Amino acid sequence: MGLNSVDIQPSILALLGQQSLLIAKEIRAEFINLTEKVTNKIRSSAINEKKDQLIEIRKINKLIWSEMQGETVCFIDGGVGETTILTKTPLIIRSGIFKVITGEKNLEERERFEIYPILVGDIESGLKNRSDYSSVLRILIELLSAYKVATSEEYNDTNILMLHGPISYRLSAYSDHYISKNDLSYILGLEGIQYQNDSSEAKQNNPFIKKFDLFCKKCELNSNNEGFCQQTENINFICLVWFILSEIFNKVRSNANFKLVGVVERSSSTDYIRDHLFLNLLQNDSSILSDFKIQASTDHGKNVDKLIEKGNYHDALILSLILNEGEYTKPEYAYKRYTDIRREEFAGMSDILFDTIPIKYVYLKIKHNTFPIRVEFPALLDDNSIEFIINHVYKYSRLLPTYAFPVGLDIVDKYAKVPNWLMAAFRKLIILKLGEEAASQDSMEEIQKLISNVLIFQQRDAFYRPEA
Amino acid sequence: MTDTAKKEEYKKVGDILGIVTPFEFYMAIKPGATSLQDLVCLDRYSEDGKKERIWTKITNIELFNPLLPKEAVHEVSSAGDKILETVLSLSKEMITAKVQIIGAEILDEDDERKGELIALNYPPNPGTPVYRPNSIDVQNILLGKIEDHRKLHIGSLRSRPEVDVFIDANPVVNRHLAILAMTGAGKSWTCRKILQGLIEKDYPIIIFDPHGDYAGLKEIYKEKVTIYMPTIHYDQENKDSSLSLIESFAYDFNEAQLDALDKAYDYITNDKYYSKKKSKAKEFCSENDINFNPGKNIWGIANVFESLIDAKELKLKDVNLTDFYPTDLVNANISTLRACMRRCRNAGSSINKMIEYNKRSYEKFKAELLPKEITNIIGKGKITIIGLAGYDITIQASMVSVILSSLFMERIKGNIKLPYLCIIEEAHNFAPGEGIESSGQQSSLMTLRRIATEGRKFGVGLILISQRPSRLNQTVASQCNSFIVMRTVNPADQAYVKNIVETLGKEDAALLQELQIGEALISGQIVRFPLLAKIKPPISRGLHEEEDLIKYILDI
């Protein structure tokens, strides 16, 4: 790799050029060369197989389809349907499952599609005024879909469960979010997930909630916190994620034929270069810092942070210059996933999460001219299983060489996408409702008041931007 | 129609989606629920509360799998893999049909318009279910209120073989019909099938048959059919047409030669004027050992030229040749006379060969020579075939022109009492659009144009049949109120057909090259709405019906 490979990767070259405009003036002119110097150094250490290898690069064992027959693969993807009235508003959250058995000739047996939509308006609990509220609901419904695949009879032949996105997001950001048992019962009651109604009795008897309650009782944190989780009707989002992933990981532990994998595209993470690549590099040779006009510190961690900051680097960008087509990095733990959870009640939770649902990841390059994708899997898998997973992700992604992402995830994304016409229809309904509300007022003054209330709802809306 | 067909229930085929107009809409359909050109319908209540059934036709079907990326299919194909062995999805095909609205049928018993098809002035609603009706209702909507005596059975719907297709005979015989298709697609077969129905109704028919395609009618309808072999009548009445024929065969007559030919023709045919001169000439020639045989045919004309040349070459000072021959002819240059003689003999030789071929083509059908008095060849229950096989196109065109115009004039004068139908095979040769090659074609075009525009007033109908529609005169073709279009591959012909047949939609036109032998798009006044039919075979055979020649040789 190196500059030659930059030359043949116009998209990456363009990105580097763009990056160079954003970084400190003092290294701007040399930015591309400096980046190349860094990546060449790392790459050459791997090729030369020196003892002081900065990176361990592995190669895909190319599979052929005829040897991958009779495998049941489930792809899951979630999404948010938004509309714009005055501001962007999430209206529908959905998750889709695409199950396919390779080589099966009977199409009805071969493929199965399911979709679970939630109307955001139907959910009563939670931090609705938070901008990440829709993300919380999306992650939850994706995980519930994965839970269904891992635990239900109809999916018990699944060999690979592949999620569009990480297996777990960085949970510290979501520690305040919660959902009521009523709402959870409603979501579970949606066709296909668990039960058909959300009556109180059904809620009490809902096996998922019963199981969760049992999980809470056994939880170390619960005993420390005097039943913090159980004393409320609301379930903390982190606890819910932990419970669901625990159940799925149990399946992974108990069934060697069941593989869980998450695939992340357009990752902006810096974990890999921060914790491994640049750390190794600077420990080996800190002279690079002076090239970047960085004053070296005795703390390598700080030096790494400075280098990342100075170059505005992220994992995918650096690895796109290091990895060749069909290569991937040595699996590493996703340490940051469960750290920095600041709520007092959750002290010690990071370690527990890391013990029970540990995750590893690799970066895998599908095509020479695309960014590598991040592939995540339970850390408890052995090397053969990891190789199995990576090879399959590569094979699925090679069917879409331009997109360079597993085709099954693209299929389920398209299948479960909330269509534009539906969102347009929702928008019309909302406007109609507002109109009806205005028309039902007793006096013109009240109508005007309602309309002005609606209109001033977002004072900085483009409607009110002064004309030139 | 079979009993099973009668018991059929309406089956739902899909639902309307997207933007709907009073003329067309799209609908999502179940796999295999319907097919191209199928008739489907939907019921609704009109604004005045009347129940109506909207009849429609499937004009296109699109199949799309939104979950199967093209890029992935290319990858699989280039690697030689099988899609079924990958994780690609094959099960989510979306089938969308484009549907043309034919009209609304009023279903209310009390409404006087019940059974009529009326144009929509408001589109049906999106989401409305669409059904495949039972065969009885399809049959009824095809027939409408057409009276039994006007029905002509020609085949069945392609999409529903159990439903018979009838056409209305009246517009066939009165409003002109064009049958257009490439060779071998089944034009003559279709025409014979239509004729079969008309013959059963004793309708007077005259067929101009350039290839003997219709001679087989004689074997089926025996005495009803008379095949005539046209002849050239050398008399004053037919002077123009006869001279035109000679001209067609003897190319490059100059003005002086034409003038000489004209005089020679008069000399042999106008007995009243030239009898004295001819008897004197006979005597003179006999005395001077000159051959004199001015028969009333092309050879006779050549003989006149020869005898005059011989007489002139004697250079007798005391003999005035104007006593024996027309003055202008005597004054003509001897080289002109020689050229005329040579050309007439050549033409005579060619015409003789054609007459011989023509005779051989029809001799087993007991063909007769076309009588001079032609009013009698038209009559109730009479099928008259003018056998043109063997003649050159230019001769055929002249013959068609002469016979058709004579018949039409007789009809106008009232000497032919009955209306009649003319069948013109290879119509592009007799009514060419461009590239007119002879005065014969010019004449036949003028005659056909006149009949096409005025024939309806006198009950003279045309069926024009052509395998090269783009070469057919547009004025003549556009006078046809109905069209039967069969398989057509030539792009120029397809474009012409699209242009001339107003009711032929874009999707219908696209079908033209996909049609099988015997399949036809029928449109115009002979049917209630355009439809795709499979023509049933006629009971008669053509003279040159396709044979398995390989088998024939093997069997020897």
Tell me the pLDDT of chain B averaged across its residues: 89
Rounded mean pLDDT, B242-266: 83
- H helical segments located in A190-298: 200-205, 207-218, 220-224, 237-254, 271-272, 278-284, 287-291
Distance CA A202, CA B368 (A): 98
The mean-pLDDT minimum among B121-130, B348-357, B478-487 falls in B348-357
* The dihedral sign for the CA sequence A333, A338, A340, A344: negative
Rounded mean pLDDT, B209-228: 88
Of A103, A400, A401, the CB nearest to B84: A103
Q: Are residues A224 and A349 in the same domain?
A: no
Q: Are residues A142 and A14 in the same domain?
A: no
**Partners of residue A407 in chain B, C-beta under 8 Å:** 69, 72, 86-88
**Partners of residue A411 in chain B, C-beta under 8 Å:** 67, 87-89
Distance CA B199, CA A458 (A): 83
CA distance A403 to chain B (A): 10
Place of tokens 């750290």: A339
DSSP H or E segment with residue B161: none
- Per-residue pLDDT band at B6 (split at 50, 70, 90): very low
Interchain pair A400, B72: CB under 8 A: yes
Cβ count near B121 (within 10 Å)? 9
Instruction: End-to-end CA distance of chain A: give it in Å, rounded.
Output: 51
Interchain pair B89, A396: CB under 8 A: no
- H helical segments located in B209-249: 217-221, 239-249
List the structure tokens of B29: 């359909």
Assigned domain for A388 exists: no
DSSP assignment of B242-299: HHHHHHHHS----HHHHHHHHHHHHHHH-HHHHHHHHHHHHHHHHHTT------SSHH
**Partners of residue A103 in chain B, C-beta under 8 Å:** 84-85
Which residue of B87, B89, B90, B91 is the best one to mutate when testing the A interface, meaning the one whose CB has the most A CBs within 10 A?
A: B87
- H helical segments located in A152-236: 181-189, 200-205, 207-218, 220-224
A158 near A172, Cβ under 8 Å?
no
Q: What ipTM was reported for this prediction? A: 0.83
Distance CA A396, CA A407 (A): 6
Distance CA B242, CA B467 (A): 29
Partners of residue A179 on adjacent β-strands = A235
Q: Are residues A109 and A36 in the same domain?
A: no
pLDDT at A375 over 90: yes
Q: Are residues A216 and A314 in the same domain?
A: no
A–B interface: beta-carbon pairs under 8 A: 69
**Partners of residue B76 in chain A, C-beta under 8 Å:** 399
Distance CA A327, CA A320 (A): 10
Q: Are residues A115 and A46 in the same domain?
A: no
pLDDT at A467 over 60: no
Interchain pair A407, B84: CB under 8 A: no
- What per-residue confidence (pLDDT) applies to A456? 54
Q: Are residues A202 and A249 in the same domain?
A: yes
Angle B20-B24-B27 (CA atoms, 0-180°, nearest 5)?
70
Rounded mean pLDDT, A211-226: 78
Distance CA B226, CA B206 (A): 10
- H helical segments located in B363-462: 393-413, 427-430, 439-454
Q: With H, G, I as helix, E, B as strand and everything else as coil, classify residue B475.
A: helix
Q: Are residues A41 and A190 in the same domain?
A: no
Assigned domain for A73 exists: yes
pLDDT at B312 over 70: yes
Of B67, B72, B90, the CB nearest to A399: B72
Q: Are residues A78 and A121 in the same domain?
A: yes
Of A66, A98, A403, the CB nearest to B85: A66
pLDDT at B248 over 90: no
Of A111, A401, A411, the CB nearest to B75: A401
- What per-residue confidence (pLDDT) applies to B193? 93
Distance CA B130, CA B145 (A): 25
Angle A340-A345-A346 (CA atoms, 0-180°, nearest 5)?
35
Interchain pair B89, A65: CB under 8 A: no
In chain A, the residue whose alpha carbon lies closest to the alpha carbon of B78 is: A399
Interchain pair A396, B85: CB under 8 A: no
Q: Are residues A94 and A179 in the same domain?
A: yes
The mean-pLDDT minimum among A56-60, A95-99, B114-118, B509-513 falls in B114-118
Assigned domain for A128 exists: yes
In chain B, the residue whose alpha carbon lies closest to the alpha carbon of A66 is: B85
**Partners of residue A259 in chain B, C-beta under 8 Å:** none
A274-312 pLDDT, tens digit per residue, is 988 998 888 888 888 988 888 888 888 899 999 999 888
pLDDT at B522 over 80: yes
The residue segments making up the domain with residue A249 are 65-264+413-418
Place of tokens 């829709």: A134
Q: Within its chain, how far is the Cα of B115 from the centroid?
A: 33
Residues with Cβ within 8 Å of A148's Cβ and at least 6 positions away in sequence, in order, are: A97, A155, A192, A193
Interchain pair A102, B87: CB under 8 A: yes
A158-169 pLDDT, tens digit per residue, is 999 999 999 999
Domains belonging to chain B, first-starting first, are: 3-145 (no CATH), 164-230+370-555 (3.40.50.300), 239-354 (no CATH)
List the structure tokens of B46: 């009109």
Assigned domain for A400 exists: no
Partners of residue B103 on adjacent β-strands = B55
- What per-residue confidence (pLDDT) applies to A84? 67
- What per-residue confidence (pLDDT) applies to A195? 40
Rounded mean pLDDT, A225-236: 67
Distance CA A181, CA A200 (A): 10
Q: With H, G, I as helix, E, B as strand and everything else as coil, classify residue A30.
A: coil
Assigned domain for A157 exists: yes
- What per-residue confidence (pLDDT) applies to A199? 53
A323-354 pLDDT, tens digit per residue, is 999 999 999 999 888 888 888 888 888 999 99
The mean-pLDDT minimum among A33-47, A380-394, B2-16, B532-546 falls in B2-16
Assigned domain for A305 exists: yes
Interchain pair B88, A399: CB under 8 A: yes
- What per-residue confidence (pLDDT) applies to B509? 83
**Partners of residue B31 in chain A, C-beta under 8 Å:** none
Cβ count near A62 (within 10 Å)? 10
List the structure tokens of A66: 């005829």
Q: Are residues A134 and A53 in the same domain?
A: no
Q: Are residues A438 and A331 in the same domain?
A: no
Find the length of chain B: 556
Partners of residue A361 on adjacent β-strands = A332, A376
Rounded mean pLDDT, A146-155: 94
- Per-residue pLDDT band at A145 (split at 50, 70, 90): very high
Which has the closest alpha carbon to B40: B139, B135, B130, B141? B130
- What per-residue confidence (pLDDT) applies to A194? 46
The mean-pLDDT minimum among A338-347, B241-250, B423-432, B494-503 falls in B241-250
Which residue of A63, A394, A403, A407 is the best one to mutate when testing the B interface, meaning the one whose CB has the most B CBs within 10 A?
A: A407
Assigned domain for A399 exists: no
List the structure tokens of A148: 């269904």
In chain A, the residue whose alpha carbon lies closest to the alpha carbon of B90 is: A107
- What per-residue confidence (pLDDT) applies to A460? 46
B84 touches chain A (CB under 8 A): yes
In chain A, the residue whose alpha carbon lies closest to the alpha carbon of B71 is: A400
Residues of A near B (Cβ–Cβ under 8 Å) read 64-66, 68-69, 73, 75, 98, 100, 102-105, 107-108, 110-111, 113, 396, 398-403, 407-408, 410-411, 414-415
- Per-residue pLDDT band at B307 (split at 50, 70, 90): very high
Which has the closest alpha carbon to B154: B554, B525, B518? B518
A393 near A364, Cβ under 8 Å?
yes
Partners of residue B229 on adjacent β-strands = B369
Assigned domain for A395 exists: no
In chain B, the residue whose alpha carbon lies closest to the alpha carbon of A406 is: B87
- What per-residue confidence (pLDDT) applies to A91? 77
pLDDT at A103 over 60: yes
B23 near B100, Cβ under 8 Å?
yes
Distance CA A445, CA A451 (A): 10
Interchain pair A65, B86: CB under 8 A: yes
- What per-residue confidence (pLDDT) applies to A3? 45
pLDDT at A445 over 90: no
Q: What is the number of domains present in chain A?
A: 3
Interchain pair A402, B71: CB under 8 A: yes
Residue A421, exposed/middle/buried by CB under 10 A (0-12, 13-18, 19+)?
exposed
Interchain pair B89, A66: CB under 8 A: no
CA distance A311 to chain B (A): 35
Residues with Cβ within 8 Å of A335's Cβ and at least 6 positions away in sequence, in order, are: A271, A275, A354
- What per-residue confidence (pLDDT) applies to A452? 66
Which has the closest alpha carbon to A73: B86, B80, B254, B337? B86
Q: Are residues A27 and A69 in the same domain?
A: no
B387 near B228, Cβ under 8 Å?
yes
Q: How far is CA A377 from CA A262, A361, A433, B289, in A?
A: 6, 6, 46, 122
- What per-residue confidence (pLDDT) applies to B92? 86
- Per-residue pLDDT band at A70 (split at 50, 70, 90): very high
pLDDT at A126 over 50: yes
DSSP H or E segment with residue A463: none
A448 near A439, Cβ under 8 Å?
no
Of A66, A399, A411, the CB nearest to B67: A411
% residues pLDDT > 90 (chain B)? 60
Most confident range, picked from A239-253, A410-424, B428-442: A239-253
Distance CA B34, CA B129 (A): 14
Tell me the pLDDT of chain A averaged across its residues: 84
**Partners of residue B82 in chain A, C-beta under 8 Å:** 65
List the structure tokens of B402: 């002469």
Of B66, B71, B87, the CB nearest to A401: B71
Rounded mean pLDDT, B525-553: 80
Distance CA A328, CA A318 (A): 13
